[in-house]
Structure 1
Amino acid sequence: MQTFYDFKIDCVSSKPFFRGAEVTKLSVSDGKASMNMNISTYCYDPSSGAMRSRSASADFSDSPYWISDRDNKVVVIGCQTLAYMQINFALTGCVLTCTEDFSPVDGVCSGAGCCELDFPNGTWYYSSYFNENYNNSQIWKTNPCSYMAVIETKSFNFNATYVNSTIFYDTYKGVTPVSLDWIISMDSCDDAKKNTTSYACISGNSKCVSEPKGGYRCACSDGYEGNPYINDGCKDIDECLDNTTYPCNGICKNTMGGFTCSCYPGSYMTDGVCQTNRKSRFPPAASFVIGGSIGLVVLVIAIACAWFIRERRKLQRIKQHYFRQHGGMLLFEEMKSQQGVTFKIFSEEELQQATNKFSEQQIIGQGGNGIVYKGLIKGNIEVAVKRCMTIDDAKKKEFGKEMLILSQINHKNIVKLLGCCLEVEVPMLVYEFVPNNTLFHLIHGNHDQQISIGTRLRIAHESAEALAYLHSCASPPIFHGDVKSSNILLDANLSAKVSDFGASILAPTDESQFVTLVQGTCGYLDPEYMRTCQLTDKSDVYSFGVVLLELLTGKKPINLFAPEHEKSLSVIFLIAMDENKLEDILDEQIKNDGNLGCLQEIAGLAKWCLEMSGVNRPSMKEVGEKLDTLRKVTQHPWEEHNLQELESLLGEHGTTQVISNTGNFSIEENVVMGLKSGR
């Protein structure tokens, strides 16, 4: 049964509105809409001496609209401000600071008083915020306000006066134009056509158009124009009236849905163009004309070849510029000096061939950092190719060197970085291909697959070992920056592979290298990182604690549509622990398996990871060791006579508790090590 969305456009003072946003345009043929959205402001109020904020948001859930990622940007304008935006389940934002010699430039929005952020795909909800630790109270006379807005890319051109005045807000009268895509319903074309009474494409000569994000809309068939949603709405186009769009240098005849072009008597058609018949012998004047024509053709061909060669050389210079800009020469030198390096620098052409020119059919994942394609490189080796969205200017020169460092990471539970492509504006990364989807899909994929506590513990332990390797064994240490269940891939044996280093940074050596761009995924973000904008190894520990909660509860990290106190899984968990109600939130698949003591130990570890202060959290090495201990205990059941020996040993070394006679024990690491060594 088809479910149609209700457009619910209301008329207020003779103007159309949808959910409080003024609708300025609806295009039937393009499936587009334009609406005015409020600008978020953060301004200093001289009368009260305080900052006043006005937050803007939009919610198009359960509606036919999506905010178009192709047509819009997120724009932040101001000084001394941290603005960020929650878009669906992710966060994006930037920090703007202004030095004494700060001088904004018209048309340049790249960090000096203004920044632009790409808008992600498939967005139905956003809400913007300003961090109160950044304000304009000290500079309000020259920079009275900061702004954040979603705006059509074609409608925005940065003006330097926007930073030190309210001209930006006044120019757009408090609202910015935003482009949206729309559909009829979420049904596919095949499903929609099955119900003839509700199928929306009712005009003759209309067709169903499937949207990449899902659902369908209608359009007139080729050769017709008009409204496909009403009877006889699609009318034939008379192509003969538009010789520019439908060229014909002969006799044009309109037909239903098309046209024909025939030649006048005495001429013939060649490659769609009418040519005049010529005799085998020509008079002298005609020969002169023919010779001149041939010469002209030769000249045109020569000019075209010269232009082609020039453009090809220009393209090569551009590629060489990008290659040097991203540290390609430095990377080459490093690769020469290090023997046995298997890292490869790919050309853009190689990756286009591997991914069928980055076909949509090859997409296997996408997020805030970029799109991932499945590819096949020389030797029939399957790879994952990641096209990143953006790269910080500060990281461009060191990018190649950092890639070489990341390529030397050799751990069975970390996705191997095989190479990169540097001759494009934003570098592309090539990883090994992992075939069995993600941990997020395993937990939340709406399937009937049973996931035992043993499998969950093993995946958690393998992931923790991988992160501990990055923090402790890599040189220099590496902070992942976006630990979440969708970045933990699973191979054919459900072994964990930590992936996606799009948000990773090498451990900073001084304060100037600390990250100032808020990045990560809503629900996993370390609150200390949100407050300080400084990514550390303990930020990864906090995010991993949320992954442990997913494994324990089977719930998603955040639910935007739940009541305020139930939106965050970590908040729900901490309340349940304080009230001794852990069993109420455990996954039904595992809480009745006689492993309650083990689950309590995991919950205690998760609570430790979620400490508000990073210094109070464990290291990833400690987390891995604790999970390893729990795995060993659950994997080796003890017979009853061994229980007495264990209890005696526990009396010597100390323990937390003996949980049950099923063979599951909660013990300290020194006891386990004693058992292994025979002590």
Structure 2
Amino acid sequence: MDAALTAVYLFLFHAAAQDLCSRKCGSFTADYPFGFDRGCGPPEFELNCSSAGKPLLQTVAGQFEILEATATTLIVETSRLKSNSCTGAEAFFDVGSTAPYTLSANNEFFARGCSVEGSYTADAESTQHCETGCQPGREPNIRNPFCEELECCILTIPSGKRSVIIKSSANNGTSDCGYSSVIFPPSYQVVTYGIELLWAMPGNCSTSAHLCSLNATCLDAPHQPGFFNCICNTGSGNGFSNGTGCSAVVDHCASSPCSEGAICVNDLNSFTCKCRQGYKGNATSGCRKTDVFQHITSGPVLLVVAAAILAGSICVCIVRTKKLGRKKGLFPKLGSLAHLQLEFKQNATFFSFDELSRATQNFKAELMLGTGSFGTVFQGVLDDDTPVAIKKANSTTGPRIQQFLNEVTILSQVNHRNLVKLLGCCLETEVPLLVFEFVPNGTLFEHLQHRRSSILSWERRLQIAIETAEAISYLHSSAAQPIYHRDVKSTNILLDEKFTAKVADFGISKLVSLEATHVSTTVHGTPGYIDPQYQQNYQLTDKSDVYSFGVVLLELITGQKPVDFSRNSSDKNLTAFSLAYIQSSRIEDIIDKGLELGDERAKISSIQEVANLAIRCLEFNRENRPAMRSVAEELMKISAAS
């Protein structure tokens, strides 16, 4: 990025950080440039907040909980990042090729178990291998706590890497399974662990040193060309003038005042000792280790924990009783207030019908954005000048009310920059009203069908594909409970003013238990996008969304509708229409003419790769389709290479 443009870019975001910005998520408080809104700093540092109040870092590999943040590092929870030696299944971590994060040299790759061969590949470069022996009872490796009981081999990972692929296999001829993983050893706490990332701000010290506070020094990041940090000379803080700056806080933990098994938390004027996870007792005089697995899996405690989780995940929608007494709204239709135990986040809003009427000028026809089987969507402006989209149900019949409840339940459990945000609802009327963030640039379908003035370049289409894939991957793999969208299509992909994708419409989506492989249900969806195996056996899976996304990829390439009766009889279905061209490497014959690629062979090659990926997503046998996480990763690699 040009130095002058970088300076302007950072200045604008620093100014925006003073305005609307949320830095709080549960007990976690982010410091500049991190935050949970776009106004907090550059968009690369926007974090997500889970419904459980956990700060999450979005990566190509999914979302990871942030355990700790400092002026130069993040520690993210990665205990699920394992490759099982019996199955040989790969595990991977990837922050993205342009992200402001890299793996630190403090992380270690390890293989654990009897006669386990492990390997890692960082940034698609050379692969490093190590193999464990089989010597039970040997002296434990103190540096890596995972090696205390079984044989381990350990490899270092160099700084500056943004991705790592982990593999393992067993050579012991038994059913005993080991695994390979990556760990930041100091993060190990009995049942969880993480990896350490280095973060830095885009720019360099020659143009951006003025962004550091008075008591800080600007340092160009040694392993990230084009990035820098502000480091406090004394005291503590993040070093940025827009953040906490630098304060001369005494390190009260320097003398190690806490007992073994405890951690010391430095405060402004003192310190606090806390027993580490997996320990209990007096943190100052002594913490003793507990058998976490035994306690959690014992019958009575398991029931208590399950009940607590259930109780904590449900928040009863409370509306003022006086208002309910005056209005006959939804409650008679649904039975009682108890039936409206919706899993709303605490910051969700309950709007009055009067406010939403004012916002839409009494639901004026000219403000209608669109209509569908569920209801009609109107553009509106709230009393505080917030632009919104208001969905009004078409009827009060059981299925329509159920779709309303389903959408509220799902959207109140998710938080991702590429999912449309539910702001609240209105329960005072005969028909339910949902209030969403307003996404001003229409749908992907409208742009591809030239119903909007702009022509989407191939680069922009590829970015939309990546963002949509990341959103669906989040629903499948990173949400608190897996979610199958069930209606992935170009009309449900909204675009904001910067053409950022926002996946919408969760009326027929399905929440799935963690152990489920499919959901048996009647077929719902849109012709042209529906998984043929789902139509055949009524089993909805995450691969059903993968199939629908494959159709969206074909739309991005061709600009054609998924079903078009104006095409020849054999070409009405876009999937069938495109297949022969792609498999015979005649992709240029069906590329959207609006792209005007000319002789740009690199772009044509990129389009061919995306088309090949689309064909894999459209495999009839769902087992042959890639997982959504793999689709997002492959699109990122195609984008980086083009």
Q: TM-score scaled by structure 2?
A: 0.45
Bigger CA radius of gyration: 1
Q: TM-score scaled by structure 1?
A: 0.43
